[in-house]
Structure 1
């Protein structure tokens, strides 16, 4: 697998806790992390979120209550997470999931700092592609 180090820990257990909105992942090196859906959604590796280069990221907001509709395996190196806000293009490699767990606190701090720098509220609805935020629709 390109980019997958053979010493990258592999998940041995993966549990979606819909009530508490965390994805619990146990790795074969003994580490277990509880990753909030919001963190996973905000740091989605998809082009829609990350853009196509540094500085192209789309800052995600209003994801505190996002849910996970489904988790599907991608080969034996990643999972695809389908969120209930319709976002389903993120492919999360074991490496990325491990890093999200390992650096969770720093990533949160970075996210909150980016929000502050942009003058955005964490719970603000995402502006629609048309440029104006619209009400909640399901």
Structure 2
């Protein structure tokens, strides 16, 4: 895999593990990721989370126990994820889910650092 050239990768398997709350996605290029519900929720691509421009992101707190209650395909390009806290406005493109998988460790640490800096909690 060179860089993040995954715009053409398509999922061949999507499975939600209800107990562990992991969304498992396998792509046609052989990549496979297990993405926790909390991680998906705090990195929602919605305007509510991302804000309306760089620097306007809204830090998500208290999402440690959030669950995925529904998955809805959107055309052939994205997944709408419905969370137990009522959030359902983010459309996760196949490319964005791939990016979240590839950069999981980096993004998760960044989130934990931002929580700490804000004196906020996952609880």
Match of 2:77 in 1: 77
Contact persistence 2:6–2:95 (CA under 8 A): no
Larger Rg: 1
TM-score, structure 1 normalization: 0.83
Structure 1 ranges of 4+ moved more than 4 A: none
Aligned to 1:130: none
Match of 2:51 in 1: 51
1:28 — aligned with what? 28
Q: Which runs of 5+ in 2 are unaligned?
A: none
Q: CA RMSD in A?
A: 1.3
Gaps of 5+ in 1: 124-138
User: In structure 1, what is the Cα distance between the partners aligned to 2:21 and 2:6?
Assistant: 30
Give the equivalent residue in structure 1 for 2:113.
113
More relative contact order in 1 or in 2 (CA 8 Å, sep 6+)? 2
TM-score (norm 2): 0.92
Deviation at 1:121, TM superposition (A): 1.6
SS in 1 for 2:113: helix
